[in-house]
Chains A and B, each alone.
Chain A
Amino acid sequence: MALLQISEPGMSAAPHQHRLAVGIDLGTTNSLVATVRSGSAVCLPDQHGRTLLPSVVHYSTARVVVGHEAQAKQNQDPANTVVSVKRFMGRGLADVADAATPYRFVDEPGMLKLVTAGGVKSPVQVSADILRALKARAEESLGGELAGAVITVPAYFDDAQRQATKDAAQLAGLNVLRLLNEPTAAAIAYGLDNAAEGTYVIYDLGGGTFDVSILELTRGVFEVRATSGDSQLGGDDFDHRVYCWLLEQAGLSQLNEHDVRLLLTRAREAKEALTEHDLTRITAKLSNEVVIDLELSSATFQAITAHLVQKTINPVRRALRDARLTVADIKGVVLVGGATRMPHVHRAVGELFGQPPLTNLDPDKVVALGAAMQADVLAGNKGDDDWLLLDVIPLSLGLETMGGLVEKIIPRNSTIPTARAQDFTTFKDGQTALAVHVLQGERELVTDCRSLARFELRGIPPMVAGAARIRVSFQVDADGLLSVSAREQSTGIAASIAVKPSYGLGDDEIARMLQDSLRHAGDDMEARKLAEARVEAEALIDASQAALASDGDLLDAAERGAIDDQIERLLAAMAGHDADVLRELTEALNHATQEFAARRMDRAVKRGLAGQKIEEL
């Protein structure tokens, strides 16, 4: 028996066609999945009632374990327990070299990989494992297959990080309706819950990323005016500071990976304890039997992490400048992300804006809830009562020019979708190729920006220097993802190329990985699909025949013939093994009987049923 939800007026779905949609907050520390049920956004819990899924994956030779169970293995098997994988998305080895991690990395072009007991894993694959767990939870909770998902990303994620996130979702078998910026998701949840109007700042300090977005909320429109942040700054860094303090106080160095993990865990616990208390005790027994027993005061904690809080203030200032606003223009500041629970973060934000920040939403859940609301709109469940989101790209996009300099083509904080074209020419006689290097970032030098893609445009007809006109076009879509194409204009001979992410996970590779992961499950799925299709077909045939027997007189000979014909064809298909054909023919019979069903309904009503049961007729 299906369990139904209340739809918006006029938006009831046909049976088996519910557009089940979820919002997923794929966080550094924790991940959540939420949906809109009977008009209300809710985070979906697991069978133990827990909504937070720790973003932790444990790999062994035998299996992959995600969440709490994986977290439990963290201290005993740190090298094979991947935590905070979001920090590695779209990143190379050089980007994470100074992080204290117990992992063995392999450098690959564009994005590093991790060596685990379960094989070499890219951050995309690890994230896909987390997403798969959330997808399974959602499908169990909603009683059907998901039509689509909105996945949130830090607003300050660059193109490589966004692309990696989308790839992970596709690898997990999710249909990505949209990548949504986390602060924008929070603004939707906050704005709709509070009927907010005016200019708001979303300050989002998560486990590993920091975002600030300034939004203008007017009736039904969420317009991002500017965004800024730091995609390598979050609660993890506060843990790391406490960890360094521990090493210093205890005079330790050269710990093994087990002890590193243990102390990082103790550091996180101490940080959390200091949210409520002024003093906390840290005890740990290292593998060499050395016992650490220290007290950390809230004052010391705040002193050793003050520079991290300060690091969040500059992006706030930059966003205000970009939006051409001052703190006086800001109506409210919404805090998002678990790390904003730290009292000194709270205080610093309050002081900067001269008003206490708004915290009437659970900072852990607000992003997932907003994503679920947006997913509901994008899946088409909302009717006319929806809203419009206008978001921006966080970082400027440009091309390498002479002398290792970057020429900006699309400035940061441009509203998406956006496109820009730039003409280039050849600088040598007879030049037939032109190298194009696409970069993202604000700095002037190529070496200070992130390289997104390099490609060579070949086949330019030989001409004198300066005669060729090569138009390079940038298109940023509503997910904030870039595609670049180039073509030679002057001769009409066009050469064009679409840019693939430079970390080398092209569509082909994703398709191959998908097939690999499906191969094991594939046979079972086929069998299940066929069995389901047979049951459905049989039920429909039975119902149709019963209806024909009782109300066949409503049809003329031709109509009757058409329905009989469809029934015959479906019966014939039931002998076969093709689930798709069965489904098609079931659908066809359903369609063929639609008018007949309507006539039967009219007859029933005409018979003046008032007060009578149908059986009594």
Chain B
Amino acid sequence: MALTLSERAANHVSGFLARRGKGLGVRLGVKTSGCSGMAYKLEFVDQESPDDLVFESFGVKIYTDAKSLPYLDGTELDYSKEGLNEGFKFNNPNVKNECGCGESFGV
């Protein structure tokens, strides 16, 4: 089981961490949000918590928690540009359906 970053995503995360001036890595997670299912969490990590699971891609640490992992296992976080918009994208093999915008999903 693993979480990974694409090389492009890893470069962006390192860049953001450097400009922010602090942070250990990036946290991927899910939280429940009613019945359209789960929502992704994407946050900077300043402090590791005891039950964190840690992965690494291209030198960037990826943190998650045991509750989230089953829903994210195999996920690759990518970075992409669509027109003027740009940002991170979860490529999650566990997802069966997602809302139109991809911010929440069901499994």
A and B are partners in one complex rather than unrelated chains: yes
Q: How far is the CA of A11 from the CA of B41 in the complex (A)?
A: 9
- What 0/1 pattern do residues 39 to 56 of B give for CB contact below 8 A with A? 111111111000000000
Q: Is the CB of B84 within 8 A of A3?
A: no
Q: Is the CB of B100 within 8 A of A6?
A: no
Whether a CB of chain B sits under 8 angstroms from the CB of A609 is yes
- What 0/1 pattern do residues 583 to 616 of A give for CB contact below 8 A with B? 0000001111110111001001100011111110
Q: Is the CB of A540 within 8 A of B89?
A: no
Q: Is the CB of A543 within 8 A of B88?
A: no
**One of A24-32, A38-46, A116-124 contacting the partner:** A38-46
Q: Is the CB of A12 within 8 A of B41?
A: yes
Q: Is the CB of B20 within 8 A of A543?
A: no
Q: How far is the CA of A40 from the CA of B34 in the complex (A)?
A: 31
Residues of A within 8 A of B83 (CB): 47, 140
Residues of A within 8 A of B107 (CB): 614
Q: Is the CB of A594 within 8 A of B32?
A: yes
Whether a CB of chain B sits under 8 angstroms from the CB of A75 is no
Interface centre among A2, A539, A597, A614 (most CB of B within 10 A): A2
Q: Is the CB of A39 within 8 A of B19?
A: yes
Q: How far is the CA of A197 from the CA of B67 in the complex (A)?
A: 43
Whether a CB of chain B sits under 8 angstroms from the CB of A280 is no
Whether a CB of chain B sits under 8 angstroms from the CB of A403 is no
Q: Is the CB of B36 within 8 A of A7?
A: no
State which size class the interface on B falls in. 35 or more
Question: 8 Å CB contacts to B: which residues of A30-69?
Answer: 37-40, 44-47
Q: Is the CB of B33 within 8 A of A11?
A: no
Residues of B within 8 A of A543 (CB): 35-37, 97, 106
Residues of B within 8 A of A596 (CB): 35
Q: How far is the CA of A143 from the CA of B88 in the complex (A)?
A: 13
Q: How far is the CA of A143 from the CA of B38 in the complex (A)?
A: 20
Which among B32, B40, B41, B103 is the interface contact of A16 at CB below 8 angstroms?
A: B103
Whether a CB of chain B sits under 8 angstroms from the CB of A5 is yes
Residues of A within 8 A of B94 (CB): 613-615
Q: Is the CB of B82 within 8 A of A3?
A: yes
Interchain nearest-CB distance for B17 vs A (Å)? 8
Which among B35, B40, B99 is the interface contact of A593 at CB below 8 angstroms?
A: B35
Interchain nearest-CB distance for A128 vs B (Å)? 22
Q: How far is the CA of A590 from the CA of B36 in the complex (A)?
A: 7
Question: 8 Å CB contacts to A: which residues of B62-100?
Answer: 66-67, 69-71, 73-74, 80, 82-90, 93-94, 97, 99-100
Whether a CB of chain B sits under 8 angstroms from the CB of A547 is yes
Q: How far is the CA of A540 from the CA of B100 in the complex (A)?
A: 11
Whether a CB of chain A sits under 8 angstroms from the CB of B104 is yes
Q: Is the CB of B71 within 8 A of A3?
A: no
Q: How far is the CA of A590 from the CA of B20 in the complex (A)?
A: 35
Whether a CB of chain A sits under 8 angstroms from the CB of B59 is no
Whether a CB of chain B sits under 8 angstroms from the CB of A580 is no
Whether a CB of chain B sits under 8 angstroms from the CB of A137 is yes
Q: Is the CB of B88 within 8 A of A6?
A: yes
Whether a CB of chain A sits under 8 angstroms from the CB of B26 is yes
Q: How far is the CA of A611 from the CA of B1 in the complex (A)?
A: 6
Q: Is the CB of B43 within 8 A of A11?
A: yes
Given A6-B26, A539-B100, A614-B94, A590 contacting B34 (CB threshold 8 A)? yes
Can you name 19 A-B residue pairings with CB atoms under 8 Å?
A2-B87, A2-B101, A4-B87, A5-B42, A5-B88, A6-B13, A8-B43, A9-B44, A12-B31, A12-B42, A39-B44, A40-B19, A47-B84, A142-B85, A540-B34, A589-B34, A590-B34, A592-B34, A597-B38
